Structure 1
Amino acid sequence: MDAVAALEGIEALPFAVAIRRSATLYIFVNAAHILSIGIIVGSILPLDLRLIGLFRRVPVEVIGPFLSHAAAIGIGMAIITGFCLFSARPVEYAGNPAFLTKMTLLALGVANAALLHLTPQWRVAVKGGPLSLRVRLSGLLSLAIWTGAVVAGRWIGFLLE
């Protein structure tokens, strides 16, 4: 099966057809997607700011695990709702440079977080130890990636015909 046929298959899924036919359903799925993005940004950015050295009175061992879990929930929700939105017009989205940029940044953001959480430096940080250069750089990279993903996401609609 070629890529276009796979995308057309996604477009034919019952929930994709329902989203295209119902403005109300589209609005609710879109709102849920925006809410999930809010959860991601609302948890990742404060954590990243703390990791790069701001808000030093806030202990990483307290906020690190909590905000990481909140971000993971937001990412899960964003993937589900984003796929639903994508399914309504997959051929158009697959050719949209902003969409492709957003997907690349999303993958990089998740990979950065996963790699950070696997390091001994992260385990030290969430046990109250010092923040290593690796942890700080990961926070800085995360800030750039997730900000870029939000910008790319907003850019998508401007490039769709």
Structure 2
Amino acid sequence: MEEALTWIGALPVAGAIRRSAVLYIFVNAAHILSIGIIVGSILPLDLRLLGFFPDVPVGVIGPYLSRAAAIGIASAMATGLCLFSVRPVEYAGNPAFLTKMTLLAIGVLNAVLLHMTPQWRDAVKGGPLSLSVRVSALLSMSIWTGAVLSGRWIGFLSE
């Protein structure tokens, strides 16, 4: 495992970010903007699935916000990998980082599983919001909020 982490730390992108404070700032800002896209997409969708904003059709915002969140997740993963590559050994041992990664995996799994259900397809077609859809939305809000909080905590547990 340590060899893989050392290899990641030796990648050209890691060296470039370590050598350039400006590049680090831009990658970090892109990561934060990506997180904003995720939270800005997922939380409103989850609130709608929980019954808020009943005049807004799930069929209109559901697919749109889900795709926006997926783009945010892909971008956050790319920028996050770049940031991780700067200090991979330290981050791999950071409890907040490990918590964040676990929550991200659970959050993505929750979304994928929801989108595979007939209850989601029914909701998008204007059908009722089933208990399983609502529970998934509540879990989603908790998971993604926890991931953001864990991510913010990473810097306080390193050094």
TM-score bucket (shorter structure): over 0.9
Identical-residue share of aligned pairs (%): 78
2:116: which partner in 1? 118
Mapped to 1, the partners of 2:14 and 2:142 lie a distance apart of: 32
2:15 and 2:29 mapped to 1: Cα distance?
Answer: 18
The residue type equivalent to 2:65 in the other structure is: L
Matched, 1:7 2:19: no
Extract unaligned runs of 5+ from structure 1: none
Cα-to-partner distance string for 1:72-100 (whole Å, 9 max, x where unaligned): 00000000000000000000000000000
Q: What's the TM-score once normalised by structure 2's chain length?
A: 0.99
Is 1:155 the counterpart of 2:153? The answer is: yes
For 2:105 and 2:82, the matched residues in 1 are separated by 18
* Aligned match of 1:60: 58
Deviation by residue 1:28-86 (Cα, 9 ceiling, x = unmatched): 00000000000000000000011111111111010000000000000000000000000
**Length-normalised TM-score, structure 1:** 0.98
Q: 1:141 corresponds to which residue?
A: 139
Q: Which amino acid aligns with 1:99?
A: F
SS in 2 for 1:57: coil
RMSD: 0.4
Q: Which runs of 5+ in 2 are unaligned?
A: none
Aligned to 2:41: 43
CA distance in 2, matches of 1:127, 1:69: 17
Q: Which runs of 4+ in 1 moved over 4 A?
A: none
